[in-house]
Amino acid sequence: MLARSVGFALATAGLCLVIGYPVAYYIARFGGRYKHALIALVVVPFFVNYLVRTYAWVALLADEGLVNGVVTDIGVRDEGIRFLNTSWAVIGGLVYGYLAFMILPIYAALDRMDPALIEAGKDLYGTRWNTFRHVTMPATFQGVLAGAVLVFLPAVGDFVSAQLLGGPGTYMIGNLIQQQFLAAENWPFGAALTAVLMSFLAIWMVLYLRSAARAARETTA
């Protein structure tokens, strides 16, 4: 259960990075005078209730939902596709839920970075890829790390996505904790699970804070 939770959370953080980095990059580098408006657009949906956002996906992906309606209408398949109750639905819900936590720190890091560095990489005959790998990526590493931690921590403990988009086969540790307290009435076990979760997350938190502190020292030194 803990392994699945961590796996889902890692996949979520990975997907958030793959989706979030290009978006943050585009907005920070080429947003121009719309930069602030675009980043505000990224944030706005995250003030919509998390349940409602997850529910939106339930409505879209349900067997009788909108996506399956389109699929059967245009005749891709006679039967709809089963989306709900799969791991991918749960991970998708988590990605949709926590994406902003990845984009904002990366955006902040890119925004702070001097664009002349990229120009220099180009002037020194670096290819696009090499410039990105050796200049942009190291410069924004702390932002990526902060984003990964901000997505990973809440995702591990989440139970809403697994409850609504998944099923018993995809339950995470949050679902188990919730059951102990609100259904099984086994509070000591629930408390023990919570303590395990908290200590596990505390390790990551401390590692991250040390890395951030080291980076801060290096930039001021």
Partner 1 sequence: MSSPPKDFDRPRFLPAFTALFFVFLFAPIALVALFSFNSTRSLQNFQGFSLQWYERFFDNESLRESLIASIEIAFVTMVVSTVLGTMLAFGLVRARTRWAGSANVLMLIPLVTPEIVAAVSALILFTQIGWRLSLETIMIAHITFSISYVTVVVRARLAAVNPEVEQAALDLGATRWGTLRLVTIPELWPAILAAGLLVFALSFDDFVISFFTTGESPQPLPVRIYSAIRFGVTPTINAIGTLMLAVSAVLIGLAIALPRLLGRRESGLGVLVGREAA
Q: Which 10-39 positions form the footprint of partner 1 (CB under 8 A)?
A: 19, 22-23, 25-27, 29-30, 32, 36, 39
Q: Within positions 68 to 107, which residues make up the interface with partner 1, using CB under 8 A? A: 69, 96, 99-101, 104-105, 107
The token pair at 36 is 């602030």
Name the nearest CA neighbour of 177 among 194, 162, 201, 161.
194
Q: Measured over all CA atoms, what is the biggest interatomic distance in the chain, rounded to whole angstroms?
A: 66
State whether the Cα torsion 146-148-151-155 is positive or negative.
Answer: negative
Task: Give the span between the Cα atoms of 143 and 104, in whole angstroms.
Answer: 8
How many chain residues are in contact with partner 1, going by CB under 8 A? 77
Q: Which of 41, 207, 215, 216 binds partner 1 (CB under 8 A)?
A: 41
Q: Smaller CB distance to partner 1: residue 89 or 174?
A: 174
Instruction: Figure out which of the listed residues 6, 7, 132, 189 binds partner 1, where binding follows CB under 8 A.
Output: 132
Among 1, 34, 51, 216, contact with partner 1 (rule: CB under 8 A): 51
Q: Is 6 in the site for partner 1 (CB under 8 A)?
A: no
Between 59 and 215, whose beta carbon lies closer to partner 1? 59
Q: How far is CA 16 from the centre of its chain?
A: 4
Q: Among residues 142, 126, 164, which one has the least CA distance to residue 49?
A: 164
Least distance between partner 1 and beta carbon 78 (Å): 16
* Footprint (CB under 8 A) of partner 1, residues 146-185: 146, 153-154, 156-160, 163-164, 174, 177-178, 181-182
Count Cβ atoms below 10 Å from residue 89 Cβ, excluding itself.
22
